[in-house]
Structure 1
């Protein structure tokens, strides 16, 4: 029996987990956010923020790069990206406060291969 964590994928993906991801995306001007999936659950968020010295300006309060109206589209895209994944990562690339790329890397766990080193051939 597997415990369902607060960041599990599919219909068990919590609103709090999605809100946390949405907040992290809004907080980054340049960088990336990586969601780590294990046993079909998002177990970790890795946030990498780059600070461009020549372009760095303080963020205005109340003004975010990802508008609230875009929140539903962002949530839908995140759910699509992690849907059906058992193990892997979803990386969200952000430039100038805009999401420019979502990359999904899925890993498969396999058992012992027969014939890999000549046995069974």
Structure 2
């Protein structure tokens, strides 16, 4: 019985070691994803950008933009957006948060053209938890 306990403890440690090394690697954010984030930060007045991450890679991007119609906006007409030339002040923070997530979501919320909130939801796989084989419980 102690041999099984020791083997399960070694297996759990090996799994943790693999996952820790995978998380500690800094992955560059793909240019396509970075372009979408930068464009969103510079052009959207009200809305959400939701980035879904699996295995450390962005697998889905959802963009919700709200348009508020008022007397002031009716007079302004349509607005066309050019590709932004400057770096957004929060671009580095958003990139760092995105690189730190292995599984989960990063939600960027804009209100009146300003980043109002960055919400990070991180999910952890069950095999990463200590005590899965009964040890340490």
TM range (shorter): 0.5 to 0.7
- Aligned equivalent of 2:64, options 33, 39, 48: 48
Structure having greater relative contact order (Cα 8 Å, sep ≥ 6): 2
Q: Is the 8 A contact 1:31 1:95 kept in 2?
A: yes
CA shift, 1:24, in A, is 2.5
In terms of fraction of residues, the more helix-rich structure is: 2
Deviates further, 94-103 or 17-26: 17-26
In terms of fraction of residues, the more strand-rich structure is: 1
Task: After TM superposition, list the pairs within 5 Å mapping 1:1-121 onto structure 2.
Answer: 10-54=26-70, 56=73, 57-58=76-77, 60-61=79-80, 68-71=85-88, 73-111=89-127
CA shift, 1:95, in A, is 0.7
Q: TM-score, normalized by length of structure 2? A: 0.61
Deviates further, 24-33 or 96-105: 24-33
Question: C-alpha distance in 1, partners of 2:79/2:125?
Answer: 45
Task: Provide the aligned length of Structure 1 versus Structure 2.
Answer: 105
Structure 2: 5+ residue stretches without partners: 1-24
Secondary structure in structure 2 of the residue aligned to 1:21: helix
Structure 1: 5+ residue stretches without partners: 1-8, 116-120
Q: Is the 8 A contact 1:36 1:90 kept in 2?
A: yes
Name which one, 1 or 2, has greater alpha-carbon Rg: 2
Cα RMSD (Å): 3.0
Q: TM-score, normalized by length of structure 1? A: 0.68
Distance 1:58 1:44, change over 3 A: farther
Distance 1:103 1:60, change over 3 A: same
